[in-house]
A and B are shown apart, each in its own frame.
Chain A
Amino acid sequence: MTGLEPKLFVFLLSTFLGLEVIRRVSPLLHTPLMSLTNAISAISVVAAIQVMAEGHLLTGGYSAFNKTLCTLGVIAATTNIVGGFWITDRMLKMFRRETRDRD
């Protein structure tokens, strides 16, 4: 139970911060917003690394199980990191203001 309060505080504050920051995002960019936050939530890659590291004293089947699941977790999260940031940038590149000069 140790340290629950600070975690709740951090969770609450970051939720409110998120609500305030994201409320200001123009509806124009709601699709890139979703793909960007999706890429950011792929921070779970960090969790996969942590669980694998902290379970390193496990032996036998438990160790193999831990490593397999965490590696799969890293794969799933990295997919979102690479894909998420990349496609967000691809989308944002297309948003421009003035009519481009055409030949």
Chain B
Amino acid sequence: MTNCFAITGILALANPAESMDIANSWFGVASYLIAVALFILSLKWLSHPRTARRGVRAGEIGMVVAVVGTLLIFQAVSYKLIFLGMVIGSLIGAPMAVWMPMTAVPQRTALSHAFGALAAALVGTAHYYWLFHDRNIDHFTMGVLAMEVLLGSLTFTGSCVAFGKLQELIPSSIKSLPQQNAINFSLLGAAILIGIWLTVAPLSYVLFPILILLGLTFGIFLVMPIGGADMPTVISLLNSYAGLSASLMGFVLNNYLLIVAGALDGSSGLILSIIMCRAMNRSFTNVLFGRMGAVSAASADDVYGGKVKSCTPEDVAAMLDGVRRVVVVPGYGMAVAQAQHAVRELFNLLEERGTDVEFAIHPVAGRMPGHMNVLLAEADIPYDKLKEMDEINPSFAQTDVVIVIGANDVVNPVANTDPKSPIAGMPILNVGEARTVVVVKRSLSPGFAGIPNPLFAADNTLMLFEDGKKAVTEIVAAMKAAP
């Protein structure tokens, strides 16, 4: 009967010396089934903003059910320590959720990937030494443990570096070492070799710390040379790794709940990384190992020379008077300038005056998937005004004014025109088709790709050289002052 459910596998590993309370174990199995169902429903409900919060509830309940079930299955545990760990974890986790400003969400996400990976690496290590103590490690278990610990440790340091970059503790673009790829591949190769060695000879315990050390070092070297604008892909990829290492834990612990929950997390990270790569027309390998090479684009002087027109906030205010349709294109610069609330004021004012306002969100705008949406939602802008690239691109031709705030590469027409450019083939927002484009930007400095943007010199483009927040505030003030 117990074989009916694959999930009873969790019971197989429970210590035979322990007299299992059958009622409790069945309760445990049931709780795992319920938890799995709730996790899947949780992600399903997240698909739409209307049901999304229900999804969070489902996930929370699933987690509580899973933990209670686990404590009932494995009673030989030191409840005091578990309780202590949970209290400390909550004390760290709650402030990270409650007081975290929305602009810091990418950093927080990187940090939580680090915590997740750390947990996997720690548990894997504890598991290895327990099995080592019993001299009871088969090759399969060892191989999976090695993968789990390697993934966990490289994701841990990789996420820490990503956190450092997003928090600007580490400069966002560091020149890569001359032999960066050679170093990275040798580190990874050495780690894999040691993993294989351990799999063949699981009791060579000296190698285990070396494996961890190599994983930790590789994580640092992998993420260090990756620049800020590639962070959405990197964060998604690290998300996927953290999920995969949780899933691997399930393989060695015969715990199906871990396998399923880890696989769900892994697939989510995978999908997001694919979307991010596609939105930049780049491959994983290109993001991770390809550096933005020597720039072959036209020099800034050729592109801009004498053709850039600048304007004042008053000019923009006059231009916005009585127009039918305005599209705002936000980028990372809007987040840096904390301009989202000023943008909201502009949005209100325009809507009051009967102008249709929408926001064009490029998939890689910002520092993580969906970053701009969260910022604009925080500023109280209704989400049905936030449009995806494919949806809004055809409408630029019918748009009177486009206001670009702190975005650069995602509106660079070179992506469509110059096959040699580093951003060639990247889908962009075709803002140039609008009647007038206003670009709010502090200077003509290039974006992440390091190339000049011909849009800034286009006939229908006006540059407003100012900090995003100040510029938008002044436009609003000028609009209100006008009779």
Please list the residues of chain A having a beta carbon within 8 angstroms of any beta carbon in chain B: 1-4, 6-7, 10-11, 14-19, 21-58, 62, 65-67, 69-100, 102
Contact = CB atoms under 8 A, between A and B. Distances in A.
B52 A95 contact: yes
B370 A31 contact: yes
Contacts of A14: 259-260, 263-264, 267
B77 A53 contact: yes
A82 B370 contact: no
Contacts of A85: 56, 59-60, 63, 97
B119 A42 contact: yes
19 contacts: A10-B260, A15-B267, A18-B264, A21-B43, A25-B46, A27-B373, A30-B272, A31-B369, A34-B272, A43-B257, A47-B249, A49-B77, A67-B81, A72-B85, A73-B126, A80-B93, A82-B94, A86-B93, A97-B382
Contacts of B408: none
A34 B235 contact: yes
What range describes how many residues of B lie at the interface? Answer: 35 or more
Contacts of A56: 15, 76-78
A48 B374 contact: no
Contacts of A34: 109, 235-236, 239, 268-269, 272, 368-370
The B contact surface, by secondary structure, is helix
Interface stretch (B65-73, B196-204, B309-317, B473-481): B65-73
B86 to A, nearest CB: 5
B451 to A, nearest CB: 26
A6 to B, nearest CB: 4
B259 A54 contact: no
A28 B89 contact: no
Contacts of A36: 42-43, 46, 55-56, 59
A2 to B, nearest CB: 8
A5 B449 CA distance: 46
Contacts of B259: 7, 10-11, 14
B49 A27 contact: no
Nearest to B63: A81
B109 A82 contact: no
Contacts of A69: 122-123, 125-126
Contacts of B43: 18, 21-22, 25, 33, 36-37, 40
A76 B267 contact: no
A78 B116 contact: no
A76 to B, nearest CB: 4
Which of A15, A40, A81 has the largest count of B CB atoms less than 10 A from its CB? A40
A5 to B, nearest CB: 10
Nearest to B60: A85
A18 B48 contact: no
Nearest to B270: A19
A88 to B, nearest CB: 5
Contacts of A91: 102, 105, 374, 377
A74 B86 contact: yes
Q: Which 6 A-B pairs have the closest CB atoms?
A: A78-B89, A30-B370, A74-B85, A18-B267, A53-B74, A82-B93
A6 B6 CA distance: 7
Contacts of A77: 89, 115-116, 119
A18 B242 CA distance: 15
Given A46-B258, A54-B15, A88-B56, 19 more contacts: A1-B138, A1-B140, A16-B267, A19-B271, A27-B388, A28-B373, A30-B272, A33-B46, A34-B236, A34-B239, A41-B242, A44-B123, A48-B122, A50-B255, A73-B119, A80-B119, A89-B56, A94-B378, A97-B384
B47 interface: yes
Given A21-B47, A48-B123, A91-B377, A40 B264 contact: yes
B96 interface: yes
A41 B263 CA distance: 9
Contacts of A23: 271
Interface stretch (B127-135, B296-304, B435-443): B127-135
B361 to A, nearest CB: 7
Contact of B382 (A46, A62, A98): A98
A45 B129 CA distance: 18
B39 interface: yes
Given A18-B267, A53-B76, A28 B383 contact: yes
A39 B250 CA distance: 17
A35 B15 CA distance: 35
B97 A83 contact: yes
Nearest to A4: B140
